[in-house]
Chains A and B, each alone.
Chain A
Amino acid sequence: MHLDPFELHRPESVEETVRLARDLGPGFDYLAGGTDLLPNYKMHLNVRPHLIALDQVRELQGYTPERIGAMTRLANLDADPEIARWYPALGEAVHGVATPLVRASGTVGGNLLVETRCFFFNQSFFWRASLGFCLKADGDRCHVVPQKEKCYATFSGDLAPALQVLGATVEVAAPEGNRRLPLDELYAADGDGIQRHRLGPGELLVAVHLPPEARRVRSTYLKLRPRPSFDFPELGLAAALTRDGDRLSSLEVAAGGLETYPRRFRSITEGFVGGTFTDDRIRELAAAIQAAVRPVHNTAYPPDYRKRMTGVFVRRAVRALWEGRGAS
């Protein structure tokens, strides 16, 4: 496999980066850790002529417990016991990403904006050509759900659901200035696997912010995958709750690896907050979320299995948090 030629840019500030991005128009990709982008380029997947490397951009580096720069390497978070102590879901999600080697390069921003994945997309040029390509790259139809409108590629980052249940917001830079938005709104909930985020042209993810409440909730992240040592999530289930005696005073559940975006189940979970929480209620919650998810057949495990496991994982995660013990 070889890379097609591209021009590499290495800006040093956010301002310079977004200006460059605006000038280059649509013909570029941001290069963070490169652990996903470069393998995709080697397969000639949506290759662009320009790459803007972010490793020299000052404002993206470094982290505090409240603000995590987008270029923070996953290995740095993984090695920090304070992250695991304050935000167990985040610590578990980071630790579950790929392998030590990938975590050494991979970044927080890169994982949040990782390309969606699909059996029919993550393949060699020869392979895709023999099928007439697909909606997501070089073609005009989807092979997962045969039609020509919507791409069903699966969101496969680990950090997003964990940060969603912790109530994270993201800081985005644009030529017009910075803006903040809830992490949920970074993703397109109308569900297309091609437009995997809602950043505008030239916008840049700068940092993730965690609110003070995130340290007060109990949280966990459970990952379903073939090999414990590797592999993208077939389901990445994050949950966070606070318990007040027998009363559930807050509850958030989010999942990745199932649909085109990391999905928070607030419309389901809010119905459980405020009341007493019992094993039956946990089962109801699990059944409701299981019924709501719509995986398709484009990853290693078939949809019926991933759907069924969603219920199991919700039950395990929430029960463990409710009982005050680790789920994994």
Chain B
Amino acid sequence: MTRSDAAPKARGGVGYGMDLEAPGMLWAALVRAPVPHGRIVRMELGPARRMPGVVAVVGPDEIRTLLPKGALEAERPVFPLDEIRYRGEPIAAVAAETLEQARHAAAAVVPVVESLRTDARIEDVFPEWPSAAAAKDPRVVGHVHARHGDVEARFRSADLVHSETYHTSGVHQVALEPHACLGEARGGKFRVRTSTQTPFGLREDLASILGIFESSLVVEGTWVGGGFGGKGAAFLEPYALLLAVASRRPVKLSVTYAEEFELGRTTLPSIIRLDTAVRGGKIVGRRVRLLLDTGASLPGRDFAVGYSIGFLLGPYRTETYEIEGFAVQTNKPPFGPHRAPFAPQSVFALESHIDGLARRLGVDPIEFRLRQVWREGDRTAYDQPVGPFGLEAGLKAAARTAGAWRTRLPAGHGIGVACGFWSTSVGAGGEARLSLRPDGLVILQGEREIGNGSVVHGLAVVAERVLGLSLAAIRVDYGDTATAPFDSGVFGSRTLGALGQAVERGARSLVTILAKRVGASEIHLEIKSGQVLVVAGRRRHKLVDLLTPTERAEGGLVVEGKFYGPEREVDASRVLAGSVYPYQDFTGAVHLAEVEVDRETGHLRVVRYAAFQDVGTAVDPSAVQGQVEGGVVMGLGAALSEEMLWTPEARLANPGLLDYRLPRLRDVPPIHVELIEGFAGAGPFGAKGVGEPPIIPVPAAVANAVADATGTRVFEMPLTPERVARALKLL
């Protein structure tokens, strides 16, 4: 199938954020904090204002003078009003006639700064594992504690207690395009064009930062660039908009990739302790303890811990457990979502741990997982019923492939398996407007397609299936936040599942209306000679003849499709502090990796890879396969070489794509993808969201393959040659 955005994108027919232009536009640059923690004692903006080409310079004072009062009370004001919380935090901004002039003027702003104590790492805040009392520490910005059953008794009576500690590193989304936006402000009305996954969420966020009503602001997405979680909340937009107010001209702000890295909003390190009690070959008790580095985040980050913990309990039956986690504030940039937020890291720890436990018990790792993995009807740790769930089927399929691989496994190679469990954000609501015109269907909605195809292609396929109309006659249109109906955004693998249901409902009401008009119980649509026909049995009606005069005047039959997911609930009695998150639906993947380990250097080569993913129903199998392959490649980066390296002074040592090492095509092994269908999800036709699950099990599958090849476990990801060499005692 061909995506409608493929040709214009391949031919360069749509612009990047960097290509945005407006008449009279200025270019902007940021002044960034030179220390990771401190106070600005003095910052002279006057000299920069007098530099060639400079039209506006704004700092903390301009929040007060140029924006409504609410801007000073925002949770995170445009610029920090008191403390600098991370190195590189924007503290002022410049708009000038050219980019060079803006950058030169920004470099000329040299603040006098008083440095404060830096907490670069979790260990700087908590040299020892914190007790529950640490929840009161001001640097703890999230705390979750939950338990169920008599954990202590189960641990006391266990045959075996398996205890390990894992460390994970930060990885960056590395979207194709770094952030870029163009802001305009005129007569109290604001408009921003930006690459975003969540136009409506961004509008809400920006309105609160700028102290304005949402109705005063219009957000319009750009067409390309990718997001992977990194393009949700406000990023550069507040600076561009404040400069637009100050200069009364449109302002474009883009950043280099070094700046993109240093501004953060991505995954940060974690430390995970796991204790598992086993009796009679079965898991009977779990203890999970988690420290999550959330960088320069503000209080109220329980959700980060809650999400992580959801994946640390895993897709396994858990009779008794105790979980406690802390979100720890450090002087790194604030954390943010990255494809399947918190899951690859949590699952690296959990699935390494489970795998090691199986090996310790002398049980085949796949067989061991099959003993505990959820089936439909099981209860989760939060006492939710498990819905249709394909991981048992995935494990069985993986067992067959692993068996085949093992028959010809060269010396020095190992095979690793890992499960990844995911709950998509299918509950987050969305709406779409469907206009059936005499010559075809137009779906108007609020998301602009920046990558995965779920919008321009996925939504069209849903309408095609319901209406019978061919894809060529369906167009997915996009509107800004002023013209398009509301949608929650492209995140959490929800686009097809939630927005797709809005389209499905809209399409079904079209069918109902038209069936009534032609007096039939069943109809479908066809396109012939550019005319939409309503087909009822052997009768064919031109759509144009079925429209009312008003509809004709409006160009077609217009319906609204809305979908707001049901609320899910957890058993709150199990939650002692903070909050955990109900699973929305149940999906996941089983991965297999064959890895060759160089036992003298610690270098790993992933020889081949297989992914078995529960997709509910593959609405477009080739598009789904593309998502799975992309997720595996991204996961391989996190497993092998991608890592944000922080110095003890909270300085990012590798803010660039030479030293932050993404896999290149030549580094990627053949990937076998098997879609598991038949376990219906919450989306249209039983589809489940597919974008996030394929990244989740990868680091664990690779680590388990290393353990299989060498008998040695690596407790830290990524599995760099140095870490493998240390684990193998080569150093």
Contact = CB atoms under 8 A, between A and B. Distances in A.
B661 A226 contact: yes
Contact of B87 (A125, A130, A305): A130
Given A302-B722, A308-B731, A312-B601, A230 B664 contact: yes
Contacts of A300: 659, 661
Interface string A71-102: 00000000000000000000000000001000
Nearest to A312: B600
A147 to B, nearest CB: 19
A47 to B, nearest CB: 14
Contacts of B32: 126
Interface in A121-163: 122-127, 129-131
A63 B35 CA distance: 52
A25 interface: no
B664 A301 contact: no
A197 B720 CA distance: 33
B100 interface: yes
Given A124-B655, A312-B600, A99 B641 contact: no
B88 interface: yes
Contacts of A127: 258, 262, 651, 655
A125 B258 CA distance: 10
A229 B601 contact: no
Contacts of B256: 1, 124
Contacts of B641: 226-227
B107 A125 contact: yes
B404 interface: no
A229 B667 contact: yes
A124 B664 contact: no
Contacts of A99: 664
Nearest to B659: A300
Contacts of B600: 312, 316
A228 interface: yes
B601 A309 contact: yes
User: DSSP class of B's interface residues: helix, strand, loop or mixed?
Assistant: loop
A149 to B, nearest CB: 23
Nearest to A143: B647
Interface string A211-240: 000000000000010111111000000000
Contacts of A246: none
Given A230-B664, A308-B731, A129 B34 contact: yes
A308 B721 CA distance: 12
Given A127-B258, A305-B721, A309-B601, A229 B655 contact: no
Interface in A265-310: 300-302, 304-305, 308-309
Interface in B94-128: 99-100, 103, 107
Contact of A126 (B88, B653, B661): B88
A2 B88 contact: no
B630 interface: no
B667 to A, nearest CB: 5
A308 B87 CA distance: 35
B658 interface: yes
B730 A308 contact: yes
A227 B641 CA distance: 8
A130 to B, nearest CB: 5
A2 to B, nearest CB: 6
A198 B725 CA distance: 38
A126 B725 CA distance: 35
B133 interface: no
A6 interface: no
B661 A305 contact: no
B408 interface: no
Nearest to A307: B731
Given A226-B641, A229-B667, A119 B653 contact: yes
A289 B430 CA distance: 66
Given A124-B256, A229-B665, A305 B722 contact: yes
B310 to A, nearest CB: 32
A316 to B, nearest CB: 8
Given A227-B641, A308-B725, A2 B100 contact: yes
A137 to B, nearest CB: 15
B666 interface: yes
B642 to A, nearest CB: 10
B663 interface: yes
Nearest to A130: B34
A235 B485 CA distance: 57
A156 to B, nearest CB: 11
Contact of A124 (B258, B653, B665, B667): B258
In the complex, which of the residues A129, A305, A312 has the most CB atoms of chain B within 10 Å of its own CB atom?
Answer: A305
B87 A227 contact: no
B663 A227 contact: yes
B432 to A, nearest CB: 40
A316 B601 CA distance: 11
Interface in A57-81: none
Contact of A226 (B258, B720, B730): B720
A99 B725 CA distance: 27
A224 B88 CA distance: 33
Contacts of B99: 2
Nearest to A300: B659
B107 A231 contact: no
A229 B669 CA distance: 12
A305 B731 contact: yes
A227 B731 contact: no
Contacts of A123: 258, 655-656
B664 A229 contact: yes
B416 to A, nearest CB: 20
Interface in B647-675: 651, 653, 655-656, 658-659, 661, 663-667
In the complex, which of the residues A124, A126, A131 has the most CB atoms of chain B within 10 Å of its own CB atom?
Answer: A126
A228 B722 contact: no
Contacts of B659: 119, 122, 300
B43 to A, nearest CB: 16
A224 B32 CA distance: 36
A226 B604 CA distance: 10
A227 B721 contact: no
Contacts of A119: 653, 659
Contacts of A126: 32, 88, 258-259, 262
A119 B651 CA distance: 12
Contacts of B722: 301-302, 305
15 contacts: A1-B256, A2-B103, A99-B664, A123-B655, A124-B656, A126-B88, A126-B259, A226-B721, A229-B663, A231-B661, A300-B659, A305-B731, A308-B725, A312-B600, A316-B600
Given A124-B256, A300-B661, A308-B730, 14 more contacts: A1-B256, A119-B659, A122-B659, A126-B88, A126-B262, A127-B258, A131-B651, A226-B720, A227-B641, A227-B664, A228-B666, A229-B665, A229-B667, A305-B721
Interface of A: 1-2, 99, 119, 122-127, 129-131, 224, 226-231, 300-302, 304-305, 308-309, 312, 316
Interface of B: 32, 34-35, 87-88, 99-100, 103, 107, 256, 258-259, 262, 600-601, 641, 651, 653, 655-656, 658-659, 661, 663-667, 720-722, 725, 730-731
Q: Lowest 5 CB-CB distances: which A-B pairs, in order?
A: A229-B666, A229-B664, A124-B258, A130-B34, A305-B722
